[in-house]
Chain A
Amino acid sequence: NAGVTQTPKFRVLKTGQSMTLLCAQDMNHEYMYWYRQDPGMGLRLIHYSVGEGTTAKGEVPDGYNVSRLKKQNFLLGLESAAPSQTSVYFCASSYSNSYGYTFGSGTRLTVV
């Protein structure tokens, strides 16, 4: 039982490049989330999904897109990376919106 798995763990991008971060969970959770963590800013919600085929914007959605084609996977895309998107990205899932979140180990992204 792996929980929440994020790939890749590290990535360096050049400004303007695109990439996709993958999140996979094996707990049959309905809810999935993408957060970014920056020093002194805590965790900020980028996008979330309340079920397969659904997505919605969080606090800081600009510059990101997401897809949830399968219940177990939640993809975060950066179409044209910017240095301001340098951050640690965490995916999380939960059984419902009343339960605690299970987080993945994170992706450290640097945009140069």
Chain B
Amino acid sequence: GQQVMQIPQYQHVQEGEDFTTYCNSSTTLSNIQWYKQRPGGHPVFLIQLVKSGEVKKQKRLTFQFGEAKKNSSLHITATQTTDVGTYFCAVRSQTGANNLFFGTGTRLTVIP
């Protein structure tokens, strides 16, 4: 399956600080998706990036796709306690089925 590395595994921040998680692949990706999973919850789709160098924003969240389409990042500005959860990137397999393979996630803790 498609291999994707996600770092860091854990991140603790004070409320109001910024947070970034990174997803890296050794191969060129067709696209990348990001999901958020609250503690005890299920993954929720946030966004899909397709174009080289693409940048998309959702309120305080900024998503970037690298120029070489081998890496991506999710940046949260001025974290809030509602941002707590695990953030996963997911990439398509190289086979015809194009299934999603998920990174291991970054667990974000926000300290009030």
Contact = CB atoms under 8 A, between A and B. Distances in A.
Interface string A65-104: 0000000000000000000000000101000011111111
Interface stretch (B14-22, B60-68, B75-83, B99-107): B99-107
Contacts of B102: 35, 42-44
Contacts of A33: 99-100
Contact of A97 (B1, B99, B103): B99
Contact of A90 (B1, B9, B43, B98): B43
A43 B44 contact: no
Nearest to A96: B98
Contacts of B59: none
B104 A48 contact: no
B42 A45 contact: no
A50 B97 contact: yes
Among B35, B88, B99, which residue has the most Cβ atoms of chain A within 10 A? Answer: B99
B44 A103 contact: yes
Nearest to B104: A42
B33 A100 contact: yes
B41 interface: yes
A105 B43 contact: no
Interface string A16-45: 000000000000000001010000111111
Contacts of B9: 40
B73 interface: no
Interface in B84-99: 88, 92, 97-99
Contact of A100 (B45, B97, B104, B105): B45
Contact of B105 (A42, A45, A90): A42
Interface of B: 1, 9, 31, 33, 35, 41-45, 47-48, 88, 92, 97-105
9 contacts: A42-B88, A42-B102, A43-B88, A44-B102, A45-B1, A48-B97, A58-B99, A100-B33, A100-B48
